[in-house]
């Protein structure tokens, strides 16, 4: 059976052979125009004038377009506050100001340089502190999450710590930059090919920008060369720039950002500065914690509000907090507008508690794993700070198994001993965890639809709103559909995503792409099966013999449940009670001859959700994907260099649909998380020009940086009955476990400090580690 097998990724071969088609692999069509963006060279101030006269004299220049050319001037997912192009106010460095159209790609740069911008700089806000001082706010939590009585706990507690947890942003570093090709069709219609996680929003953004109706715009997404959240909202304006040129010049238009442009223009993960007070007893049990989460939203709102919410939802991490107060605010600054990034604020919340626990352990001179166990969510039905019960709590079992299989205790003792020797290398070890809430916290997004076509040879084409960005959603949907029909996975083809086939789709995000679209596809499959079963029942009962008569199905596939007396397997349909069987292909042929539908459309919504932000109650998440990791690092005391020696990772993924793909997601997510907290650092010069804007200056993990020993295991859990085939979402959760590398560094540094708290910021780059080591050694 297909579900549960590690069949290869449906594009695996294409990727390694170079045959997979990304946006810029599309063949150039006749008359195609190349599009470029001219961007601001100040971070804050006024745009006085655009002088395009020289550019327009360039022989390859076909036009220069400005904000005036857009019908609607602004875009945005939640609020429309971000200008497509600067009108008068410049709000961040490298903000798009105008669009150039060129006959050839080679001339784009030359034409761009001929456009002269007159700008007048003003003082901007670039830090969370400055924004706070100026009360420059994008969004404030509607209401804090409160349980128990924190003030009381803080007053009475034997021990108290206060501090600030500081964590940096992160560049998505997808392999394929933001890209779009637009084909103008008849009657003003446009066909958009976009590298987008959110085709429906790209369709809407383009339509609004150009004053078109939604039925005039189709957005097609074959695949992305990585998205990681960066192509959820931000693919929209990119498509709109190219679409404007296509519409104005009535020619196909192509916009492909260079890596440098992409890194400078587009938003990144939100940096956070979280201020906390925590009270605890001699055993390390947390008696109360109060936190203010503060994020840098950048110049515009984008998805910052939902990201801040998710940070609040994940502050508790895997720890039960009896007395807790979580408040949050997102500031407006003159930085690039920050956006979704794998984890969606969750990592920034989750890691704060892990850092606090590391501090408590150091303060009490205890093993941090002991303190963690002391505070871990225990029992099957414990309450989170936002009032939702944690059902099917796997955390204690994951903790127990992982501590054993990773030989944590033995290694910890050894590290204690080793670090007494002055070798110049410190070692540290740490376990961290996550319970990642699966569902969009905006309830309306938890829906999807699917179209399934069963063809006469018994093969199937399926279309959903899910977009493939490498995560394997197509392969999982392929398996779900094949399993439903009881056929080989090779007989199912997942078709290109298009708003023409699937409408009003949600972004492929919140890790719920295969949950929602897989469930919708299965629903559509089941509708077809209801018809086929009805037919088989009649056929087996011999109800029709005359060639002139037709089997007629009086049932409605929408409402009839699947009859468990019929099973689809090995390409056959079997009636269990009579053991009669028929090949699926023959049944399909009979269905066609008898005019029975072999295609179905289905809509799915995740049931039971409904979180009330004003009352802080209700069900925010469908379920939690849970996992933990133990990381061991070495820190070179002379250079500050961190090496990840060993990682043991244990995840609860329910009944995995494809364990091979899930393993890839876990390894990739972990390493991406690890990069965020160790080497990936965004540097800006004094003008706020991003100077780490290419692979030479922005350090993502390479193969040498990955854990020397990397053990990934899944824990058995057959109980997740609220998701398709008992599976659990995998995309984002493992990223949060990368924090164990950072806490392990913090643990290593604690050996150089007797009484001082280790004051480590994230990312723990070589220089950050070295400076903290120096500080600790100076004042022991
Ligand atoms: N894996 C790959 N290879 N490329 C990606 O861009 N994006 C991640 C994750 N894994 C991503 C990835 C993010 S941010 C999300 S939300 C999920 O995949 C989305 O896909 P899913 O919902 O189908 O898991
Ligand atoms: C996780 C997510 C998203 C989210 C909430 C999550 C997300 C997203 C939105 C969102 C919210 C409000 C809107 C909207 C989208 O919320 O990706 O259009 O009006 O887009 O918990 O990943
Ligand atoms: Mo993922 S950040 O939800 O696209």
- The 3-class secondary structure across 583-600, one letter per residue, is EHHHHHHHHHHCCCCCEE
Is the pLDDT assigned to residue 542 strictly greater than 90? no
Is the pLDDT assigned to residue 545 strictly greater than 90? no
CB of 49 closer than 8 Å to CB of 118: yes
Q: What is the pLDDT of residues 277-290, one digit of tens each?
A: 999 999 999 999 99
Alpha carbon distance 407, 401 (integer Å): 10
Is the pLDDT assigned to residue 269 strictly greater than 90? yes
Q: What is the pLDDT of residues 744-759, one digit of tens each?
A: 999 999 999 978 899 9
Indicate the SS3 state at residue 634. strand
Write the Ramachandran bin of 706: left for phi over 0, alpha for psi from -120 to 50, otherwise beta: beta
pLDDT of the residue at 551: 84
Is the pLDDT assigned to residue 82 strictly greater than 60? yes
Is the pLDDT assigned to residue 356 strictly greater than 60? yes
pLDDT of the residue at 78: 95
Q: CB count, 10 Å around CB of 74?
A: 17
pLDDT of the residue at 262: 98
Q: Annotated active-site positions, please?
A: 732
pLDDT of the residue at 558: 80
Give residue 638's pLDDT band: very low, low, confident or very high (50, 70, 90): very high
pLDDT of the residue at 767: 97
**Residues ≥6 apart with Cβ < 8 Å to 295:** 128, 270, 271, 272, 304, 307, 308, 311, 328, 329, 330, 331, 338, 345, 348
Ligand 2 pocket mutation pick from 236, 301, 442 by most atoms within 8 angstroms of CB = 442
Q: Ligand 1 centre and the CA of 227: distance in Å?
A: 7
The enclosing H or E element of 46 equals strand 45-51
**Residues ≥6 apart with Cβ < 8 Å to 568:** 484, 485, 486, 487, 529, 574, 584
Ligand 2 pocket mutation pick from 138, 198, 306 by most atoms within 8 angstroms of CB = 306
Q: What is the pLDDT of residues 461-520, one digit of tens each?
A: 999 999 999 999 999 999 999 999 999 999 999 999 999 999 999 999 999 999 999 999
Transcribe 252-284 into DSSP letters: -EEEE--HHHHHHHS--PPPEEEEEEEEE-TT-
Is the pLDDT assigned to residue 381 strictly greater than 80? no
Q: Ligand 2 centre and the CA of 588: distance in Å?
A: 41
Is the pLDDT assigned to residue 779 strictly greater than 80? no
Ligand 2 pocket mutation pick from 201, 440, 729 by most atoms within 8 angstroms of CB = 440
Question: 280-313: string of b/e by CB count within 10 Å (b at 16+)?
Answer: beeebebbbbbbbbbbbbbbbbbbbbbbbbbbbb
pLDDT of the residue at 216: 98
Of the listed ranges 219-228, 534-543, 646-655, the least confidently predicted one is 534-543
CB of 378 closer than 8 Å to CB of 396: yes
Closest C-alpha to ligand 1, atom 12: 471
Is the pLDDT assigned to residue 549 strictly greater than 90? no
Average pLDDT in the chain: 97
Residue carrying structure tokens 């890839």: 664
Is the pLDDT assigned to residue 688 strictly greater than 90? yes
pLDDT of the residue at 543: 78
Of the listed ranges 365-374, 389-398, 751-760, the least confidently predicted one is 751-760
CB of 277 closer than 8 Å to CB of 139: no
Give residue 224's pLDDT band: very low, low, confident or very high (50, 70, 90): very high
pLDDT of the residue at 408: 98
pLDDT of the residue at 547: 59
Q: Ligand 1 centre and the CA of 306: distance in Å?
A: 18
What average pLDDT score do residues 351-380 get?
97
Q: Ligand 1 centre and the CA of 228: distance in Å?
A: 6
Is the pLDDT assigned to residue 557 strictly greater than 80? no
Is the pLDDT assigned to residue 646 strictly greater than 90? yes
Give residue 609's pLDDT band: very low, low, confident or very high (50, 70, 90): very high
Q: Please report, for residues 181, 259, 629, 749, the alpha-carbon distance to residue 692 in angstroms, rounded to integers and kept in the order given.
A: 28, 11, 30, 27
What average pLDDT score do residues 532-540 get?
94
Q: How far apart are the first and last CA of the chain?
A: 61
Pocket of ligand 1 (CB under 6 A): 226-229, 342, 469-471, 473, 508-514, 665, 668, 729, 731-732
Is the pLDDT assigned to residue 780 strictly greater than 60? no
Is the pLDDT assigned to residue 427 strictly greater than 80? yes
What average pLDDT score do residues 552-562 get?
82
Give residue 548's pLDDT band: very low, low, confident or very high (50, 70, 90): low
CB of 162 closer than 8 Å to CB of 280: no
């Amino acid at each position: 059976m297909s579900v549960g097998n590690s069949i290869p990724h449906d594009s695996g071969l294409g990727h390694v052979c170079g045959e997979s088609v990304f946006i810029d692999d599309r063949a150039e069509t006749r008359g195609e125009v190349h599009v470029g963006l001219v961007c601001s060279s100040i971070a804050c101030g006024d745009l006085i004038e655009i002088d395009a006269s020289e550019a327009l004299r360039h022989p390859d220049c076909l036009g220069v377009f400005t904000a005036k050319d857009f019908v609607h001037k602004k875009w945005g997912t939640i609020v429309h506050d971000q200008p497509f192009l600067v009108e008068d106010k410049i709000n961040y460095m490298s903000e798009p100001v105008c669009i150039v159209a060129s006959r050839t790609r080679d001339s784009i740069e030359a034409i761009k340089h001929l456009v002269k911008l007159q700008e007048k700089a003003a003082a901007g806000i670039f830090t969370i502190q400055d924004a706070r001082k100026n009360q420059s706010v994008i969004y404030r939590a509607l209401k804090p999450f409160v349980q128990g009585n924190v003030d009381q706990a803080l007053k009475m507690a034997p021990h108290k710590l206060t501090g600030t947890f500081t964590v940096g942003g992160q560049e998505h570093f997808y392999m394929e930059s933001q890209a779009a090709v637009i084909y103008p069709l008849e009657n003003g219609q446009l066909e958009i090919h976009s590298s987008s996680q959110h085709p429906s929003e790209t369709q809407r953004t383009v339509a609004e920008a150009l004053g078109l109706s939604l039925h005039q715009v189709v957005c097609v997404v074959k695949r992305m060369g990585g998205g990681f959240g960066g192509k959820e909202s931000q693919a929209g304006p990119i498509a709109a720039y190219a679409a404007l040129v296509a519409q104005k010049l009535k020619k196909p238009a192509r916009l492909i950002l260079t890596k440098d442009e992409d890194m400078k223009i587009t938003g990144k993960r939100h940096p956070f500065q979280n201020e906390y007070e925590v009270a605890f007893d001699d055993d390390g049990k947390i008696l109360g914690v109060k936190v203010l989460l503060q994020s840098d939203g950048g110049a515009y709102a984008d998805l910052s509000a939902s990201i801040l919410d998710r940070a609040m939802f994940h502050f508790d991490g895997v720890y039960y907090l009896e007395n807790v107060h979580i408040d949050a605010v997102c500031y407006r600054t003159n930085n690039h507008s920050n956006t979704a990034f794998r984890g969606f604020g969750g990592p920034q919340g989750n890691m704060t508690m892990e850092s606090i626990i590391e501090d408590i352990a150091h303060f009490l001179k205890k093993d941090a794993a002991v303190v963690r166990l002391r505070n871990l969510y225990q029992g099957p039905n414990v309450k989170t700070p936002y009032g939702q019960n944690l059902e099917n709590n796997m955390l204690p079992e994951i903790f127990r198994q992982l501590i054993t299989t990773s030989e944590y205790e033995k290694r910890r003792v050894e590290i204690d001993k080793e670090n007494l020797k002055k070798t110049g290398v410190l070692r540290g070890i740490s376990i961290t965890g996550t319970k990642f809430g699966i569902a969009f916290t905006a309830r309306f997004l938890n829906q999807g639809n699917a179209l399934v076509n069963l063809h006469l040879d018994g093969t199937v084409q399926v279309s959903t709103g899910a977009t493939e960005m490498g995560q394997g959603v197509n392969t999982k949907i392929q398996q779900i559909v094949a399993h439903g029909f009881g056929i080989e996975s090779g007989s199912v083809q997942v078709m290109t995503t298009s708003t023409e086939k699937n409408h009003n789709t949600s972004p492929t995000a919140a890790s719920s792409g295969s949950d929602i679209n897989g469930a919708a596809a299965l629903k559509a499959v089941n509708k077809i099966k209801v018809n086929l079963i009805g037919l088989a029942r009649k056929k087996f009962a011999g109800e029709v013999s005359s060639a002139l008569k037709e089997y007629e199905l009086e049932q409605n596939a929408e409402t009839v449940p699947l009859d468990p007396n019929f099973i689809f397997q090995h390409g056959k349909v079997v009636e269990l009670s009579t053991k009669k069987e028929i090949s699926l292909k023959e049944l399909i042929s009979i269905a066609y001859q008898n005019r029975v539908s072999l295609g179905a459309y289905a809509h799915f919504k995740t049931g039971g959700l409904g979180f009330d932000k004003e009352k802080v109650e209700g069900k925010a998440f469908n379920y939690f994907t849970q996992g933990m990791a133990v990381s061991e690092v070495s820190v070179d005391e002379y250079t500050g260099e961190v090496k990840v020696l060993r990682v043991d990772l244990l995840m609860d993924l329910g009944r995995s649909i494809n364990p091979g793909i899930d393993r890839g997601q876990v390894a990739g997510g972990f390493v991406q998380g690890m990069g965020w907290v160790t080497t990936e650092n965004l540097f800006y010069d004094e003008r706020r020009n991003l100077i780490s804007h290419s692979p030479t200056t922005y350090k993502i993990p390479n193969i040498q940086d990955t854990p020397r020993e990397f053990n990934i295991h899944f824990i058995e859990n057959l109980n997740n009955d609220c998701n398709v085939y008992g599976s659990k979402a995998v995309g984002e959760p493992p990223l949060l476990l990368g924090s164990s590398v950072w806490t392990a560094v913090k643990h290593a540094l604690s050996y150089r400090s007797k009484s001082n708290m280790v004051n480590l910021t994230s990312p723990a780059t070589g220089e950050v580690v070295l400076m903290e080591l120096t500080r600790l050694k100076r004042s022991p």
